[in-house]
């Protein structure tokens, strides 16, 4: 947790406390909706005990449905109590089962404070649009509910996204917090929250069949993480070769359409086999993960880094000429050379080096396979020149057999020679 992130957490907690105090001062004892409050507390607490995990460790709870219903129907202090009760119940459960989830003291208070702030703001907006609870089930009420849901969705993702960016040092893009699919998922749950609120006002028992889609929603929440797992390398967390090639083809089409530069970098760890033989495959895995982290944090937000297989990694640099890419890759190479990796089978940290091959787009007729193969040849050239260096593919050093490219006579994952 960085200092900036902790200050952000403290700010959210402080604002949440202020909103709670203001709500207590305006609480109307003569208008307590105990029946609706009790129903929502039971439903929200039950929902909070079940979660689905998405990409970037993002958690989805169906609780959002009932919190939003409470924001619409209850006085501010009551929906704050709804938020606190359901989240405290989850915290107690995680402690009883000795889970690592919510281990840090500030995580659940931050979640509570965030929902209090968002709920308080959205409540004011909804109340200004719908003045009587009887109007909730009207067309006007539905439109107001849609506006409130959209605002809740945006604020929720912005506040959570800011926490991820400050605490983990990831970009907004890598956090996945603003992905359209994630936004749509929350909006659907918020819309269902409006349906629950309307049912509780008009025909309370209709809430039971209205909640039947919860099962399908819970199943659907697992889809993003399954898609993410299918496109990433489980060991390093980088994109896998199949997904990388898909992105590569797309970027190449764009570069060719607008005649923009595009550079492909192929990187190969030097002597990884020797590390595996001397210190064990666990040590090799630690090195792979550590190098992957260096590669990931050393590139721009829109560059694409992937593990291509074994000890090979790839970096796709859109709008970048090979000469400019070379300077950036040289900096990455030096960072890897200077890094050290602690492994349990060695008293001293392990040092590694990496060889890089750089190849750029030449013309509109060039294929992704062609560029990749040229980068592969450049890595080979770097290897035979002593390793731990960066090499731009040179036409004078190697003439690519174009007939082989057209006929697909080489394997993209094969190497020009046996590398170690």
The DSSP call for residue 132 is: S
Tokens of 126: 């909804």
* Per-residue pLDDT, 412: 41
Query: What's the CA dihedral at 297, 312, 175, 162 to 10 degrees?
Result: -10
Q: Tens place of pLDDT for every residue, the chain, 420 residues?
A: 678 889 999 999 999 999 999 999 999 888 888 889 999 999 999 888 876 665 544 566 788 999 999 999 999 999 999 999 999 999 999 888 887 777 788 889 999 999 999 999 999 999 888 876 557 878 888 899 999 999 999 999 999 889 888 876 767 776 667 778 778 888 988 999 999 998 888 888 777 787 777 777 666 666 666 666 678 998 998 999 999 999 999 999 989 988 999 999 999 999 999 999 999 999 999 999 999 999 999 998 889 999 998 899 999 999 999 999 999 999 999 999 999 999 999 999 999 999 999 999 988 888 999 999 999 999 999 999 999 999 999 876 554 444 343 333 334 444 443 444
Give the integer Cα–Cα distance in Å for 259 and 319. Answer: 10
For position 111, what pLDDT does the model report?
93
How far, in Å, are 186, 390, 398 from residue 323 at the CA level?
Answer: 44, 11, 18
DSSP 71-88: HHHS-HHHHHHHHHHHHH
Residue 418 appears among annotated catalytic residues: no
pLDDT of residue 406: 34
Q: Which two tokens stand for residue 270?
A: 């030097």
Topology, domain 241-407: Alpha-Beta Plaits (3.30.70)
| Candidate list 90, 251, 311, 312, residue with the active-site label | 311
Residues carrying CATH 3.30.70.270, the chain: 241-407
Q: Tokens 């190969």, residue?
A: 268
Q: With the CA atoms of 238, 243, 247 and 253 taken in that order, what torsion angle do they form, in degrees rounded to the nearest 10? A: 160
Alpha-carbon distance values, 356 to 70, 85, 420 (Å): 57, 55, 14
Q: How far does the chain reach from its first CA to its final CA, in angstroms?
A: 39
- Cα–Cα distances (Å) from 124 to 82, 192, 346, in that order, read 17, 20, 61
Please report the DSSP string for 263-287 in residue order.
EEEEEEETTHHHHHHHH-HHHHHHH
Q: What share of the chain is helix, strand, coil (3-state, %, to 5)?
A: 65, 10, 25
CB 89 within 8 A of CB 63: no
* Euclidean distance between CA atoms 291 and 280, whole angstroms: 17
Q: Where in the chain is the domain with CATH 1.10.1760.20?
A: 3-230
Check: CATH 1.10.1760.20 for 3-230?
Answer: yes
How far does CA 60 lie from the centroid of its chain? 13
Range list of H helices, 204-321: 207-210, 214-220, 223-231, 241-258, 272-279, 281-298
């Amino acid at each position: 947790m960085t200092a900036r992130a902790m200050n952000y957490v403290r700010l959210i907690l402080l604002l949440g406390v202020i909103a709670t105090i203001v709500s207590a001062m305006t609480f109307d004892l003569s208008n307590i909706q105990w029946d609706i409050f009790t129903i929502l507390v039971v439903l929200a607490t039950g929902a909070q005990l079940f979660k689905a995990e998405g990409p970037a460790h993002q958690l989805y709870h169906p609780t959002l449905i009932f919190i939003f219903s409470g924001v619409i129907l209850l006085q501010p202090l009551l929906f704050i109590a709804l938020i606190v009760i359901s989240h405290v119940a989850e915290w107690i459960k995680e402690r009883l089962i000795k889970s690592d989830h919510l281990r840090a003291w500030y995580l659940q208070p931050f979640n509570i404070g965030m929902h209090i702030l968002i709920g308080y703001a959205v409540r004011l907006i909804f109340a200004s649009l719908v003045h009587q609870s009887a109007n909730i089930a009207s067309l006007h009420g539905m439109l107001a509910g849609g506006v409130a849901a959209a605002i809740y969705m945006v604020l929720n993702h912005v506040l959570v996204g800011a926490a991820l960016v400050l605490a983990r040092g990831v970009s907004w893009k890598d956090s996945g917090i603003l992905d359209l699919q994630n936004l749509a998922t929350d909006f659907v749950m918020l819309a269902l929250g409006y349906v629950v609120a309307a049912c509780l006002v008009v025909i309370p028992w209709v809430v039971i069949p209205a909640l039947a889609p919860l099962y399908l929603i819970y199943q659907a929440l697992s889809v993003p993480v399954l898609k993410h797992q299918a496109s990433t390398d489980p060991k390093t967390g980088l994109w896998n070769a199949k997904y990388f090639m898909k992105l590569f083809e797309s970027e190449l089409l764009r570069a060719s359409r607008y005649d923009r530069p595009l550079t492909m970098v192929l990187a190969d760890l030097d002597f990884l086999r020797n590390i595996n033989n001397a210190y064990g495959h666990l040590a090799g895995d630690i090195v792979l993960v550590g190098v992957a982290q260096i590669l990931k944090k050393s590139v721009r937000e829109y560059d694409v880094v992937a593990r291509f297989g074994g000890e090979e990694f790839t970096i796709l640099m859109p709008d970048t000429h090979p000469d400019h890419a070379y300077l950036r890759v040289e900096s990455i190479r030096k960072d890897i050379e200077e890094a050290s990796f602690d492994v349990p089978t060695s008293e001293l940290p392990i040092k590694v080096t990496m060889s890089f091959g750089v190849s750029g787009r030449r013309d509109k007729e060039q294929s992704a396979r062609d560029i990749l193969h040229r980068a592969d040849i450049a890595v080979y050239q770097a290897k035979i020149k002593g390793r731990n260096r960066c090499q731009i593919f040179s036409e004078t050093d190697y003439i690519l057999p174009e007939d082989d490219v057209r006929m697909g006579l080489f394997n993209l994952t094969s190497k020009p020679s046996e590398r170690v």
